[in-house]
C-alpha cells in the first residue's frame, strides 16, 4: 500500500498536476489574490450544492470529447478534428429532431444515431486522407474541422435559422424531443450515455483482442505490425468510433438545454481541447480519462466561481490545464517519434 | 476585374504572418524538430506586440518585444524535446493551448477587458507602399534562409543535425546546440509573425486572433517540403485564397464559405502534392 502511494506520488502525472497547481498559485499571487481562497472557491463552486449540477453537465461534454480523442490516442493516433465532428453531429441531430415524422421518443433515438453517424463519417474522411492520400491524420483531421464548423454555422444562420429570431440558432426541438433530465437540473441522460461509452471503452481495452491490438499499436507500432495488425484498417475503425462519440456529444448538446443548435455554443467552451488535454493527461487509459475529465470539469466550472468571488479571471483555469500538459509532455513518449526513428534506422540498414 | 492589384495587395498582407511563421517551422524541420507550436508562439507575439506598443507608444519596440517574448516562449519546446526528450507533438499542442489561456488571462489582468483590446491610441506599424515593413522583412528572410540552408556552413550543419544527428555528433557538431538555435529562430520569426498580425494587418488584440494560421503555417512547411522558396509559394497560395475569399464575400457569398476557403484550398494543395509525390516515388527511389 505504501509502495503504491509513493509510486503514485512519483508518477509524472501527479508531479505535473502538483506543478500546475503550484504555478497557478504563483499566478494568483502575481495578480494580488489569495491562492488558498481562490482554490477554495474553485472547489466549493464546482462541488458544492450550487455547482455540482453544472459540473456534471460540463462533464458530459468534456468526458465525451476526452473519450473521442482517447480512443485513437491509445494507438498513438491524434484526432484534432473533434470540433468539426462534434458540430456536424449537432447540426445533423438538430435537422433530424426538427424534421423527423416519428413519435418524439423514437426521434430522440434517431437524432442521437444520426449525430453519431455524421461524426463518424466525417472522422472516417480524415482517416481516408491519411490512408490513401498520405496526409498525416493530425493535419487532415484539423484542417477538415474548419469547413465543417463553417458549414454548420452557415446552416444555423441561413437555411435553418429560426424565423424572426435575431440569434444565429435553429428552431427549438418539438415537444418531447429532448433527453430526459434528472430532476430539475440540467444534467440529462446524456451523462449516462457518455459514462456507458467510457465503460464500453474500458471493457474493450481490458478484455478484448481488439483492445489489446490498440494498446499494442500504441506501445510499439512496429511490433504490432509484425504481429499482423493492419494499420490502415485500425486507423479507419478507431477514427470512426472517435467521430461517432464526438458526434454523440454534439447530438447530446442539441437534445439538452436550450434544445436547439446555437451557432458557436458547442465549440466556444473548448470541449475538444479540454477533452484532448484530459486524454493526454491520462495517457488515454479509460479510468484515468474519466478521472482527468472530472478534474477538468471541476476546474472549468470552479473557475467561474473563482472569478465571481476573487475577481481572478477564469482563464486561469485554462492556463492551469495547459501547464499540467506541458510538464507531462516533457516526460511522455508516444509512439510516433520512436517509430519515425525506427523507420530511419530500418532504411539505413537496407 | 477580379485579379487586380488590390487583390494582390491583400493577398500579400494575408501571406506575411503565415510566411514568417512557416519559415520558422521550416528551419525547425530541417534541424529535425517537429514544431507544431507555431500557432501558440504567434499568439504570444501578438499579445506582446500590442501590450508593448501600447505602454511604450512605439510599435517598433512592440515588434522587438514580440520577437523576444516568442523566442523565450519557444524555449519550452527546446527544453522539452531536446533536453528532456519529450513528445514534440504533445508539447506543441500544449503550447498552443497555453498561449490561448495565457494571453486571454493577461488581457483580462493587464487591460481589464475581455475578448478584444482595441484602443485608438494604440499605434500600429507604418505602411511603406501599402505594406508593413515586416512584409519586406519576410521576403528578405526567405532569401537569407534559402542561402543559409543551401550555402552557409551553419545551415549545412543544421541540416546534418536534422538528417543524421549521430553522424553530426561524431564530426563534433553538437546536435542539441543546433536544435536549440533552430527552435529559437522559429520563436523569433513567429514573434514577428504575431507582431505583423496584431500591429500590421490590424491594430488590435483579440483572443485567439491567430485563428488557425499557425496550423496553416505547419501545413505550408509540409507543402513547401521545408524549403524556403517552397514555403513562400505555399504561403502565397494561402494568402491568395484568403484574399479571394474576402473579395467573394464582397460579391455576396456568405462569410462562412469564405472563412473555410483557405483551409479547403490548403488541404486540396496538400492532397495534390502528396498524390504527385506518391506517384513519382517508385521511379525516384526513396526520395522523401
Q: Nearest CA of chain B to the CA of A76: how many Å? A: 11
Contact B254 A330 (CB under 8 A): no
Q: What is the 3-state secondary structure (H, E, C) of chain A?
A: CHHHHHHHHHCHHHHHHHHHHHHHHHHHHHCCCCHHHHHHHHHHHHHCCCCHHHHHHHHHHHHHHHHHHHHHHCCCCCCCCHHHHHHHHHHHHHHHHHHCCCCHHHHHHHHHHHHHHHHHHHHHHHHHHHHHHCCCHHHHHHHHHHHHHHHHHHHHHCCCECCCCCCCEECCCCCCCCCCECCCCCCEHHHHHHHHHHHHHHHHHHHCHHHHHHHHHHHCHHHHHHCCCCHHHHHHHHHHHHHHHHHHHHHHHHHCCCCCCECCCCCCCCHHHHHHHHHHHCCCCHHHHHHHHHHHHHHHHHHHHHHHHHCCCCHHHHHHHHHHHHHHHCCCCCCHHHHHHHHHHHHHHC
**How do residues A99-125 score in pLDDT, each as one tens digit?**
999 999 999 999 999 999 999 999 999
Q: Nearest CA of chain A to the CA of B147: how many Å? A: 27
Radius of gyration for the alpha carbons in chain A, expressed in angstroms and rounded = 21
**How do residues A273-329 score in pLDDT, each as one tens digit?**
999 999 998 989 999 999 999 999 999 999 988 988 888 888 888 899 899 888 888
Contact A129 B263 (CB under 8 A): no
Q: Specify the DSSP element, H or E, that contains B206.
A: strand B205-206
Kindly indicate the confidence band of residue A87, based on its pLDDT and cuts at 50, 70 and 90.
Answer: very high
Q: Which of B43, B260, B277 is the best substitution to test chain A (most A C-beta atoms within 10 A)? A: B260
Contact A138 B89 (CB under 8 A): yes
Q: Is B79 on the interface with A (CB under 8 A)?
A: yes
Contact B105 A313 (CB under 8 A): yes
Residues 6 or more apart whose CB falls under 8 angstroms from that of B206 comprise B115, B116, B117
Mean of pLDDT values over A88-94:
97
Looking at residue A17, what is its pLDDT?
Answer: 87
CA distances A120 to A110, B40, B81, Å, are 15, 29, 33
B-chain residues near A80 (CB < 8 A): 93
Residue B263, Cα to own-chain centre: how many angstroms?
Answer: 15
- The answer to whether residue A9 scores a pLDDT higher than 90 is no
Higher-pLDDT residue of A281, A332: A281
Instruction: Please identify which residue in the block is written with the cell numbers 456534471.
Output: A56
The segments of chain B whose pLDDT lies below 70 read 1-3, 276-288
- The answer to whether residue A6 scores a pLDDT higher than 80 is no
Query: In whole angstroms, what is the distance from residue B162 CA to residue B156 CA?
Result: 10
User: Which B residues in the span 147-166 are in contact with A, Cβ-Cβ below 8 Å?
Assistant: none
DSSP reduced 3-state for A101:
coil
Looking at residue A161, what is its pLDDT?
Answer: 93
Looking at residue B2, what is its pLDDT?
Answer: 56
**How do residues A61-76 score in pLDDT, each as one tens digit?**
999 999 999 999 999 9
Q: Is A14 on the interface with B (CB under 8 A)?
A: no
Contact A143 B267 (CB under 8 A): yes
Buried b / exposed e over A283-307, threshold 16 CB at 10 Å, is: bbbbebbbebbbbbbbbbbbbbbbb
Looking at residue A268, what is its pLDDT?
Answer: 87
Is the ipTM value over 0.90, yes or no? no
Q: Specify the DSSP element, H or E, that contains B117.
A: strand B116-117
Looking at residue B166, what is its pLDDT?
Answer: 87
B-chain residues near A334 (CB < 8 A): 87, 89-90
- The answer to whether residue A11 scores a pLDDT higher than 80 is no
Q: Nearest CA of chain B to the CA of A144: how many Å? A: 8
CB A78 within 8 A of CB A137: yes
Looking at residue A79, what is its pLDDT?
Answer: 95
- Nearest CB neighbour to A150, from listed B98, B108, B260: B260
Q: Record the pTM.
A: 0.89
Contact A330 B79 (CB under 8 A): yes
A-chain residues near B108 (CB < 8 A): 313, 315
Looking at residue A335, what is its pLDDT?
Answer: 43
Looking at residue A287, what is its pLDDT?
Answer: 95
Contact B90 A321 (CB under 8 A): no
A-chain residues near B212 (CB < 8 A): 146
Q: Nearest CA of chain B to the CA of A57: how many Å? A: 22
Looking at residue B230, what is its pLDDT?
Answer: 94
Residue A185 CB neighbours (<10 A):
13
Q: Which residues are A181's β-sheet partners?
A: A188
Looking at residue A10, what is its pLDDT?
Answer: 66
Query: In whole angstroms, what is the distance from residue B8 CA to residue A285 CA?
Result: 50
Q: Which of A125, A141, A315 is the best substitution to test chain B (most B C-beta atoms within 10 A)? A: A315
Kindly indicate the confidence band of residue A222, based on its pLDDT and cuts at 50, 70 and 90.
Answer: confident
Amino acid at each position: 500500500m505504501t509502495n503504491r502511494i509513493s509510486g503514485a506520488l512519483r508518477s509524472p502525472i501527479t508531479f505535473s498536476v502538483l506543478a500546475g497547481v503550484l504555478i497557478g498559485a504563483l499566478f494568483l499571487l502575481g495578480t494580488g489574490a489569495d491562492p488558498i481562497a481562490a482554490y477554495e472557491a474553485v472547489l466549493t463552486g464546482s462541488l458544492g450544492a450550487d455547482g455540482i449540477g453544472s459540473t456534471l453537465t460540463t462533464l458530459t461534454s468534456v468526458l465525451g470529447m476526452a473519450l473521442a480523442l482517447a480512443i485513437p490516442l491509445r494507438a498513438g493516433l491524434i484526432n484534432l478534428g473533434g470540433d468539426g465532428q462534434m458540430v456536424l453531429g449537432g447540426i445533423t441531430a438538430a435537422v433530424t429532431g426538427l424534421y423527423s415524422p416519428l413519435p418524439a421518443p423514437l426521434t430522440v433515438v434517431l437524432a442521437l444515431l444520426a449525430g453519431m453517424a455524421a461524426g463518424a463519417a466525417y472522422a472516417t474522411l480524415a482517416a481516408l486522407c491519411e490512408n490513401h492520400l498520405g496526409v498525416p491524420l493530425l493535419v487532415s483531421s484539423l484542417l477538415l474541422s474548419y469547413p465543417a464548423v463553417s458549414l454548420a454555422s452557415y446552416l444555423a444562420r441561413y437555411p435553418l435559422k429560426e424565423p424572426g429570431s435575431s440569434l444565429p440558432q435553429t428552431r427549438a426541438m418539438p415537444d418531447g424531443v429532448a433527453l430526459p433530465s434528472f430532476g430539475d437540473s440540467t444534467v440529462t441522460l446524456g451523462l449516462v450515455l457518455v459514462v456507458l461509452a467510457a465503460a464500453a471503452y474500458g471493457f474493450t481495452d481490458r478484455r478484448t483482442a481488439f483492445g489489446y491490438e490498440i494498446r499494442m499499436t500504441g506501445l510499439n507500432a512496429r511490433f504490432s505490425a509484425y504481429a499482423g495488425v493492419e494499420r490502415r484498417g485500425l486507423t479507419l475503425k478507431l477514427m470512426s468510433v472517435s467521430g461517432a462519440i464526438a458526434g454523440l456529444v454534439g447530438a447530446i448538446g442539441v437534445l439538452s438545454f436550450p434544445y436547439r443548435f446555437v451557432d458557436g455554443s458547442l465549440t466556444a467552451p473548448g470541449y475538444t481541447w479540454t477533452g484532448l488535454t484530459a486524454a493526454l493527461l491520462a495517457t488515454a487509459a479509460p479510468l484515468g480519462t474519466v478521472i482527468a475529465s472530472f478534474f477538468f470539469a471541476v476546474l472549468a466550472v470552479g473557475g467561474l466561481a473563482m472569478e465571481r468571488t476573487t475577481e481572478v479571471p477564469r482563464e486561469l483555469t485554462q492556463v492551469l490545464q495547459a501547464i499540467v500538459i506541458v510538464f507531462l509532455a516533457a516526460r511522455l513518449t508516444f509512439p510516433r517519434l520512436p517509430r519515425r526513428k525506427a523507420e530511419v534506422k530500418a532504411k539505413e540498414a537496407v | 476585374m477580379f485579379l487586380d492589384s488590390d487583390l494582390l495587395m491583400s493577398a500579400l498582407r494575408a501571406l506575411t504572418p503565415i510566411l514568417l511563421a512557416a519559415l520558422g517551422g521550416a528551419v525547425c524541420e530541417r534541424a529535425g524538430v517537429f514544431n507544431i507550436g507555431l500557432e501558440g508562439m504567434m499568439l504570444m507575439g501578438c499579445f506582446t506586440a500590442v501590450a508593448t506598443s501600447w505602454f511604450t507608444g512605439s510599435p517598433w519596440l512592440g515588434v522587438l518585444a514580440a520577437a523576444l517574448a516568442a523566442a523565450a516562449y519557444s524555449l519550452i519546446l527546446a527544453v522539452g524535446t531536446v533536453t528532456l526528450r519529450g513528445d514534440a507533438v504533445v508539447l506543441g499542442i500544449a503550447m498552443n493551448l497555453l498561449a490561448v489561456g495565457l494571453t486571454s488571462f493577461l488581457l483580462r489582468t493587464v487591460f481589464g477587458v475581455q475578448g478584444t483590446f482595441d484602443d485608438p491610441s494604440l499605434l500600429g506599424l507604418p505602411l511603406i507602399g501599402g505594406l508593413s515593413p515586416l512584409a519586406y522583412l519576410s521576403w528578405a528572410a526567405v532569401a537569407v534562409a534559402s542561402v543559409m540552408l543551401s550555402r552557409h556552413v551553419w545551415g549545412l550543419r543544421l541540416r546534418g543535425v536534422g538528417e543524421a544527428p549521430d553522424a553530426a555528433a561524431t564530426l563534433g557538431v553538437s546536435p542539441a546546440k543546433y536544435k536549440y538555435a533552430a527552435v529559437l529562430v522559429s520563436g523569433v520569426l513567429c514573434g514577428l509573425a504575431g507582431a505583423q498580425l496584431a500591429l500590421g494587418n490590424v491594430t488590435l488584440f483579440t483572443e485567439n486572433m491567430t485563428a488557425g494560421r499557425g496550423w496553416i503555417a505547419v501545413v505550408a512547411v509540409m507543402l513547401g517540403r521545408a524549403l524556403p522558396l517552397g514555403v513562400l509559394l505555399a504561403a502565397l497560395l494561402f494568402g491568395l485564397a484568403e484574399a479571394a475569399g474576402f473579395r467573394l464575400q464582397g460579391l455576396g457569398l456568405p462569410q462562412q464559405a469564405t472563412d473555410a476557403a483557405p483551409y479547403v484550398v490548403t488541404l486540396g494543395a496538400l492532397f495534390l502534392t502528396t498524390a504527385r509525390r506518391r506517384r513519382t516515388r517508385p521511379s525516384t527511389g526513396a526520395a522523401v
